[in-house]
């Protein structure tokens, strides 16, 4: 009995087995999205999904028992796993519901909750922990420029709202709509569609001023502003590697200087 327990425990402590479950679970969720599949097959897929959710619960229970709650919950990945297991719990009960739940919003939320299990894939991406650390460092370093970018977007959005809300209410009818429209201009892709829509039925002079206004916004916020945000963010992400390289170069320079000094001393005192 003890050997069987230890074998089960070792299986659920094996990341390869958990990755296999995540892949199977992802395929079942993917397959369930096709409406033309036979209802009986959908039921089988839902059953497999619920079974895997039970296995995930068992995995969490075994790990908590093996490591202890304090040690288990200290790991950020274990925190994520535990939260995802809790979020996916309602999907287990759907298998026992013999009603048409497609039109019931609260049951639909239960079904959607199982999608969160996809996030377990991140745990198995090689180098993901270092990548997360780099992103965290980059966010801390570039927080000021990001905040400045959002403030600039906010100011331009309010200004544009008062300028063009009567011309195009669907784009600039309120500050929230205006904020989204200006952000689309900042992203550069398809920015010309907004001024082109505004200049419809406008005079030549008004059209020129509107287009000039959005060209200015594009250069200041899209080309310069967003590029600045990207460059600072990327530079912050790779700065850790640069720091390590600079440290090695400094150490090598110090060693070379010491060798030169020793050689000079040996030359003076043969």
Residue 155 and residue 76 share a domain: no
Q: Specify the pLDDT at position 215.
A: 92
Residue 256 and residue 191 share a domain: yes
Residue 61 and residue 18 share a domain: yes
DSSP-derived 3-state class of residue 125: coil
Listed residue (212, 229, 78, 70) closest to 148, CA to CA: 229
Write the pLDDT tens digit of every residue in 225-243. 877 777 777 776 666 555 5
In a domain, 95, yes or no: yes
List the CATH number of the domain containing 221.
1.10.287.70
CB 50 within 8 A of CB 95: yes
Residue 159 and residue 78 share a domain: no
Domain extent for 162? 138-268
pLDDT band at 6 (very low <50, low <70, confident <90, very high): confident
Please tell me what DSSP assigns to residue 75: S
List the CATH number of the domain containing 53.
1.20.120.350
In a domain, 101, yes or no: yes
Q: What is the CA radius of gyration of the chain?
A: 29
In a domain, 131, yes or no: no
Residue 187 and residue 145 share a domain: yes
Listed residue (6, 3, 1, 51) closest to 25, CA to CA: 51
Residue 148 and residue 105 share a domain: no
In a domain, 130, yes or no: no
Q: Specify the pLDDT at position 208.
A: 92
Last residue of one domain, picked from the residues 94, 125, 156? 125
Residue 214 and residue 178 share a domain: yes
Residue 164 and residue 99 share a domain: no
Write the pLDDT tens digit of every residue in 102-133. 444 455 555 566 666 666 667 777 777 777 77
Residue 119 and residue 195 share a domain: no
Q: Specify the pLDDT at position 103.
A: 45
State the total domains in the chain: 2
């Amino acid at each position: 009995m003890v050997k069987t327990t230890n074998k089960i425990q070792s299986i659920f402590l094996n990341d390869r087995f958990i990755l296999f479950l995540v892949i199977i679970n992802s395929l079942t969720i993917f397959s369930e999205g096709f409406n033309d599949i036979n209802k009986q097959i959908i039921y089988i897929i839902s059953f497999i999904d619920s079974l895997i959710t039970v296995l995930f619960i068992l995995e969490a229970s075994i790990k908590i028992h093996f490591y202890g709650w304090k040690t288990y919950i200290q790991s950020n990945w274990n925190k994520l796993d535990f939260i995802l297991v809790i979020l996916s719990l309602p999907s287990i009960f759907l298998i026992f519901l013999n009603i048409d739940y497609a039109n019931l919003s609260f049951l639909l939320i239960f079904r959607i909750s199982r999608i969160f299990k996809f996030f377990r894939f991140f745990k198995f991406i090689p180098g993901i922990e270092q990548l997360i650390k780099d992103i965290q460092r980059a966010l801390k370093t570039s927080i000021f420029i990001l905040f400045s970018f959002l403030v600039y977007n906010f100011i331009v959005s309010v200004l544009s709202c008062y300028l063009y809300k009567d011309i195009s209410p669907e784009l600039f009818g309120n500050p929230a709509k205006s904020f989204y429209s200006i952000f689309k201009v900042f992203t550069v892709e398809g920015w010309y569609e907004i001024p082109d829509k505004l200049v419809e039925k406008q005079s030549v002079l008004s059209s020129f001023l509107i287009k000039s206004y959005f060209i200015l916004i594009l250069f200041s916020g899209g080309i310069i502003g967003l590029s600045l945000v990207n460059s600072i963010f990327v530079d912050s992400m790779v700065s850790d590697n640069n720091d390590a390289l600079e440290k090695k170069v400094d150490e090598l320079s110090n060693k070379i200087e010491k060798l030169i000094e020793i050689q000079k001393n040996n030359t003076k005192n043969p």
